[in-house]
């Protein structure tokens, strides 16, 4: 018998192992060459519009909380990124070295720096003014597209790096909760977006998916959108990946609302029929409220068009009735309040706006997109799977899962809601999925494969600069929010054992507790007075008055009963307290 190590099976396994190792080595060499090529390209761009700057170890390049208006390319040396915390030790986030770029969050978002960048060694950087860089890119679409793609890739790597640090403390019982993704509404901005008069009241805002039918031709794809219900109009802000499109329907032009039967796929669906078109809406949350409100607005608009008074609507107008039998009226709903309005946009915002996607790009994206449906529990993509597809959720929700070494099952590390994107990291790096994504409920997504995007870019050479500028901005916003979350997670937390919990009855009956609480109220009132905050001072004075009344002015509370003495083998009658 020959040695088993020299058997055909063993030789085959050895050959296979060598083949796999060679493929990995070749892939690593290609990745290294690609990284070097990207660095050389970025360096050329910065050399064309920037200047050299040198720093000694320990000097600050970027100060946390400051908007510098500069970007930096590291030619030589290392930089430490440090998260400064008031009254506490600093947290080191990461180290950047030769070939890295800093200051991109300020360029793309206009936010102050989220962390301090300090030279860890003698440092040489190329420093470029952001506005000068944007003006240079505005005249060179090819370079703009390449640079924003590189920046988006850098940001993606930093998101993965910071996410990895945050995941290191994730356990099965600490999965993040699901949060609604509907943002706080800026009403004046919404009016301006849809070209409405300043007296138009915003009554409600709802997430929905939208599908339009014009002249008996229905759109192939539904779109994620936000429905704004105003007094006289239904307004839709539709979103597909990087592009937003607005649509307005006058309430007076609406003929009727037709609900679909609650068959499979048609739950919470209503068709808005108006002159020349119909719009199919699927509203997953607060569907009944949205339908009642749209009908109330339609009736009011119809009544106004006929020249009738508002009272006629509530007294005799026919229409859909509520469950109590009364006609639906706008008075049933609260008008949304006006928020604080931000200042004017800067020149930098204007330059970035020139790189926004154009209206005609909407149709280009739709031409290469496809709609996919997933049942609850089905996987959209699995960890380690080759993937280069960009997804956007039209309706439903997805959960992000990771396989951790010390966990038998995958751990849920996040959720993605309607309107959000995923897959951008794999698309940029043309690699494998770093996490699994599964449908948390029945979900519909629109998907664009990377190869279809490349075909689209080859026929529309100006599109890459606009698309990758959007993608870089989207990644920058994710990184900024992730950094804020990381900073909050590093704050020291005080936990109290359940055995130390006491009831309010014990607090009121204990003079020491009452004294501490009264001192707190007195100190708070004094601080408010020192700060000339009369409203806050009046609030604490009121609390102090109530506290004194309940604790001292009323009859003393009954003392808490004492626990019985321990049993020592014989029974004795309890002693009566002296009368």
Give the C-alpha separation, 522 to 408, whole Å.
Answer: 54
- The predicted pLDDT at position 25 comes to 63
The beta strand positions in 262-355, using DSSP E, are 269-274, 277-282
What confidence category does residue 57 fall into, taking pLDDT thresholds of 50, 70 and 90?
Answer: very high
CA gap 203, 551 in Å, rounded: 45
What does DSSP say about strands 91-96 and 101-102: parallel, antiparallel, or unpaired?
A: unpaired
List residues bridging with 417 in a β-sheet.
397
Which of the 8 DSSP states describes residue 50?
Answer: -
Q: Is the pLDDT of residue 556 over 70?
A: no
Residue 351 pLDDT level (bands cut at 50, 70, 90): low
DSSP string, 549-576: IIIIISPPPPPPPPPPPPP-SS--PPPP
- Residue 333 — φ and ψ, nearest 5°? -115, 150
Pairing state between β 51-55 and 60-62: unpaired
Q: Within its chain, how far is the Cα of 446 from the centroid?
A: 19
pLDDT-derived band at 326, boundaries 50, 70, 90: very low
Cα separation, 25 vs 19, whole angstroms: 10
Q: Are 400 and 436 in contact (CB under 8 A)?
A: yes
Integer distance in angstroms from the first to the last C-alpha of the chain? 104
Nearest to 406 by CA among 212, 236, 172, 210: 172
Give yes or no for residue 24 having a pLDDT over 60: no
Lowest-confidence region among 262-271, 336-345, 516-525, 560-569: 336-345
pLDDT score at 375: 93
Q: Which of 490, 487, 404, 379 is nearest to 172 (CA)?
A: 404
Q: Are 191 and 248 in contact (CB under 8 A)?
A: no
Whether 94 and 115 have beta carbons less than 8 Å apart is answered as no
Alpha-carbon span 92 to 483, nearest angstrom:
12
Concatenated DSSP letters of 160-209 = HHHHHHHHTT--GGGPPPP---PPPP-HHHHHHHHT--TTPPEEEEEEEE
- Greater confidence, 351 or 51? 51
For the stretch 198-220, pLDDT in tens is 888 888 889 888 988 887 788 88
Rounded CA separation 484/108 (Å): 17
Residue 119 has pLDDT above 90, yes or no: yes
Alpha-carbon distance of 254 to 297, in angstroms, equals: 10
Average pLDDT, the chain: 76
- pLDDT tens readout for residues 224-273: 889 999 988 999 998 877 667 888 999 989 998 988 776 555 678 899 99
The mean pLDDT of 437-458, rounded to a whole number, is 90
For helices 463-489 and 141-167, the axis angle rounded to 10 degrees is 20
pTM of the complete model: 0.61
Look at residue 435 and give its three-state secondary structure. coil
Using DSSP bridges, classify how beta strands 411-417 and 397-402 pair: parallel, antiparallel or unpaired.
antiparallel
DSSP character at residue 321: B
Q: Which of 274-283, 299-308, 309-318, 386-395 has the lowest mean pLDDT?
A: 309-318
> Residue 538: which pLDDT band, with cuts at 50, 70 and 90?
confident
- Determine the pLDDT at residue 574: 46
Task: Compare 308 and 416 and report the one with higher pLDDT.
Answer: 416
Q: Phi, psi at residue 251, to the nearest 5°?
A: -60, -30
CB-side exposure of 112: number of CA atoms within 13 Å? 7
- E strands, 456-536, are none
Residue 41 buriedness (CB in 10 A; 0-12 / 13-18 / 19+): middle
> Which range has the top average pLDDT, 165-179, 357-371, 549-563?
357-371
What gap in Å lies between CA 397 and CA 418, rounded to an integer?
Answer: 6
Angle between helices 8-49 and 130-138 (to 10 degrees): 100
pLDDT digits (tens, 9 = 90+) for 477-535: 888 888 777 776 665 554 544 445 566 666 667 777 777 778 888 888 888 888 888 88
Condensed to tens digits (0 to 9), the pLDDT of residues 271-298 reads: 999 888 899 998 888 888 888 889 888 8
């Amino acid at each position: 018998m020959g040695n088993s190590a020299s058997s055909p099976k063993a030789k085959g396994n050895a050959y296979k192992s060598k083949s796999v190792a060679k493929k990995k080595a070749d892939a690593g060499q290609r990745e290294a060459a690609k990284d070097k090529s990207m660095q050389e390209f970025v360096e050329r761009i910065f050399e064309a519009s920037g200047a050299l700057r040198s720093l000694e170890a320990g000097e600050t390049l970027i100060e946390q909380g400051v908007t510098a208006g500069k970007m930096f390319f590291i030619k030589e040396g290392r930089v430490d990124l440090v998260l400064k915390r008031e009254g506490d030790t600093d947290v080191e986030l990461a180290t950047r070295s030769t070939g890295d770029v800093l200051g991109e969050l300020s360029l793309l978002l206009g936010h102050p720096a989220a962390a301090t960048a300090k030279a860890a060694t003698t440092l040489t950087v190329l420093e470029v003014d952001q506005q000068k860089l944007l003006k240079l890119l505005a005249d060179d679409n090819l370079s703009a597209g390449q640079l924003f793609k590189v920046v988006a890739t850098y940001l993606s790597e930093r998101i993965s790096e910071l996410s990895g640090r945050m995941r290191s403390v994730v356990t099965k019982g600490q999965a993040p909760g699901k949060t609604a993704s509907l943002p706080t509404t800026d009403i004046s901005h919404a009016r301006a977006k849809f070209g409405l008069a300043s007296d138009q009241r915003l009554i409600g805002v709802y997430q929905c998916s939208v599908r339009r039918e014009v002249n008996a031709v229905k759109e192939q794809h539904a779109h994620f959108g936000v429905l704004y219900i105003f007094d006289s109009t239904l307004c839709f802000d539709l979103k597909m990946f990087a592009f937003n499109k607005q649509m307005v329907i006058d309430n007076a032009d609406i003929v009727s609302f037709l609900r679909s039967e609650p068959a499979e796929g048609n739950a919470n669906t209503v068709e808005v029929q108006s002159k020349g078109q119909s719009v199919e809406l699927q509203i997953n949350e607060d569907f009944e409220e949205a339908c009642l409100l749209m009908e109330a607005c339609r009736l009011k608009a119809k009544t106004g068009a006929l020249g009738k008074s508002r009272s006629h609507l509530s007294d005799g107008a026919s229409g859909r009735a509520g469950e109590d039998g009364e006609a639906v009226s706008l008075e049933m709903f609260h008008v949304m309040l006006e928020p604080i309005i931000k200042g004017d946009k800067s020149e930098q915002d204007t330059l970035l706006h020139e790189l926004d996607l154009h209206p005609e790009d909407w149709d280009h994206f739709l031409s290469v997109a496809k709609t996919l449906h997933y049942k609850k529990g089905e996987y959209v993509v699995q960890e380690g799977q080759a993937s280069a597809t960009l997804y956007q959720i039209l309706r439903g929700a997805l959960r992000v899962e990771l396989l951790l070494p010390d966990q038998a099952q995958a751990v849920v590390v996040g959720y993605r809601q309607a309107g959000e994107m995923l897959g951008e990291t794999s698309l940029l790096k043309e690699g494998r999925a770093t996490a699994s994504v599964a449908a948390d409920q029945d979900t519909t997504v629109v998907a664009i494969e990377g190869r279809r995007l490349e075909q689209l870019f080859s026929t529309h050479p100006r599109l890459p600069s606009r698309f990758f500028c959007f993608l870089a901005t989207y990644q920058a916003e994710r990184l900024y929010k992730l950094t804020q979350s990381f900073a909050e997670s590093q704050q020291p937390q005080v936990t109290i054992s359940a055995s130390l919990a006491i009831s309010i009855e014990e607090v009121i009956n204990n003079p020491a507790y009452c004294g501490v609480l009264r001192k707190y109220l007195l100190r708070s009132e004094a601080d408010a007075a020192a700060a000339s905050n009369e409203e806050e001072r009046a609030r604490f004075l009121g609390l102090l008055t109530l506290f004194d009344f309940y604790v001292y002015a009323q009859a003393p509370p009954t003392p808490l009963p004492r626990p019985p003495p321990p049993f020592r083998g014989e029974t004795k009658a309890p002693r009566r307290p002296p009368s």
